[in-house]
Amino acid sequence: MADVCVLTGGRSLERTVSLRSAARVERALRELGHAPDVIDIGPDLVGRLRDRGYGAAFICAHGRGGEDGTLQELCELLGLPYTGSGVSASARCFDKLLLKHELDAAGLPTPEFVSFSQETVNELGAAEALPAAVDRLGMPLIVKPARMGSALGIGVAHNESELDRALLNAFSYDHKVVVERFLADARDLAVGVLDGSPLPIVEATPSGRELFDFDARYTPGLTQFTVPADLSDDLAAAAWELALQAAALLGVRGAARVDLVLAGDDLWVIDLPTVPGLTETSLLPMAAEAAGISFTGLVASMLDPALID
């Protein structure tokens, strides 16, 4: 019986990562005694979900259309329990602009930022306001598509011409971009959160590159991972607390990852993926393993609440 389906793939630019995550999840589900159907999400999705009457959906679709609340909404409409966060938390975490506003409003630290949309640039002359943004934030800046994961489309700008290029590139991924103060020499930390509890902190140190970018994330060997991260007890506790506060603020459910940067002794939240990667180079499985939770165990913990739902 195909009791569980794994929703993956689709037209998101993170398709490859999704398919890799799903392949691992499928194997783990088989080990757990399930007979999952892996579904490459497309126009036939609703029909397939209706016809088969699955008991739960394991969402492994990263990026737009999988992580942004829309797939979750569809599952809700069909009465299909699913893994991870609900519609509202997914939507607010996936959009970095909304996420940062929420964090800011709650007094949780996130690097100072401004945002631009393609429409304001094209129709309202927003480019003329770029110098003011630079004045406010100072160089270097990091430019991110607001709604994209896996660090796709992210670029660092040290001067005006690099800023133009970074904006053009980021706008190719999303019509809305976030321009953020770039904390040079900061450390990249990730705190996995599983059912409200923090996992050991993972530090990612990409070799020979300024950013923990897409290539550094998914090319084995390009990044050194340290688990648990080499932090003082106070800093580790602060990172855990900040991650839990952010996760609680946004109302995330199941498994999520809170990405932080550490600059000096200051911690900042930069991202909160609610469908975190589960590939062989992904951070959440690494953190779980450090906590003594096997990949299969992690998959079971992610699925169980949905099955009970």
Partner 1 sequence: MPTATNLDPYDDRYAARVAGLRSSAMRDLMSVIGRPEVISLAGGLPYTQAFPPDVLVELTAAVAADATAQALQYGPTEGLAEAREAICGLLAGQGVPAVPEHVLVTTGGQQVLDLVCRTFIDPGDVVIAEGPTYPGMLPTLGAYDADVRHIPMDGDGMLIDALQTELERLDAAGRRPKLIYTIPSFQNPAGVSLSLERRRALVELAARRQILIVEDDPYSRLRFEGEPLPSLAELDAGRGGVIHVGTFSKILAPGLRIGFAVAPAAIVAKLNLAKQGIDLCSSPLAQMLASRFVEGPRFAPYLETMVDLYRERRDVMVAALHEHLPADAAFSPPAGGLFVWVTVPGVSAGALLPRALQADVAFVPGTAAFFDGRGDESMRLNFSAVTSERIEEGVRRLGRVVAEQRTLERSLRSPGRSWQTSAS
Phi, psi of 160 (to 5 degrees): -65, -40
284 forms part of the interface with partner 1 (CB under 8 A): no
Q: Smallest gap, in angstroms, from Cβ of residue 78 to partner 1?
A: 22
Toward partner 1, which CB reaches closer, 195 or 230?
A: 230
Smallest distance from partner 1 to CB 214, Å:
4
If the CB atoms of residues 197 and 219 are measured against partner 1, the closer one turns out to be 219
Does 127 bind partner 1 (CB under 8 A)? Our answer is yes
Is residue 128 involved in binding partner 1 (CB under 8 A)?
yes
Residue 210 as a binder of partner 1 (CB under 8 A): the answer is no
Binding piece for partner 1, criterion CB under 8 A, among 82-90, 106-114, 188-196, 218-226: 218-226
Which parts of 242-261 interact with partner 1 (CB under 8 A)?
none
Q: Tell which one of 4, 5, 7, 10 touches partner 1 (CB under 8 A).
A: 10
Dihedral (Cα; 146, 255, 280, 230), 10-degree rounding: 90
238 three-class SS:
helix
Of 218 and 268, which has the nearer Cβ to partner 1? Answer: 218
Q: Of residues 146-185, which lie at the interface with partner 1 (CB under 8 A)?
A: 152-153, 159-160, 164-165, 167-169, 171-173
Determine, following the binding rule CB under 8 A, whether residue 85 of this chain makes contact with partner 1.
Answer: no
CB-nearer residue toward partner 1: 40 or 73? 40
Contact positions with partner 1 (CB under 8 A) in 36-75: 40, 42-43
Binding range to partner 1, per CB under 8 A, among 104-112, 217-225, 243-251, 256-264: 217-225
Q: Which is closer to partner 1, CB of 139 or CB of 307?
A: 139
Query: How many CB atoms sit inside 10 A of residue 141's CB?
Result: 25
Which contacts (CB < 8 Å, 24+ apart) does range 273-276 have? 273/62, 273/67, 273/93, 273/149, 274/67, 274/84, 274/85, 274/89, 274/90, 274/93, 274/94, 275/59, 275/60, 275/61, 275/62, 275/66, 275/67, 275/84, 275/90, 276/192
State the pairing for strand pair 176-181/187-194: unpaired
Per-residue burial over 155-192, b if 16 or more Cβ lie within 10 Å, else e, is bbbeeeebbeebbebbbebbbbbbbbbbbeebbbbbbb
Taken in order 305, 307, 308, 309, is the CA torsion positive or negative?
positive
The verdict on 189 binding partner 1 (CB under 8 A) reads no
Cα separation of 288 and 282, whole Å?
11
Q: Does 215 bind partner 1 (CB under 8 A)?
A: yes
How far apart are alpha carbons 64 and 136 in whole angstroms?
Answer: 30
State the residues that interact with partner 1 by CB under 8 A.
9-13, 15-17, 19, 40, 42-43, 118, 121-122, 125-128, 130-132, 134-135, 138-139, 152-153, 159-160, 164-165, 167-169, 171-173, 213-215, 218-230, 280-281, 286, 290
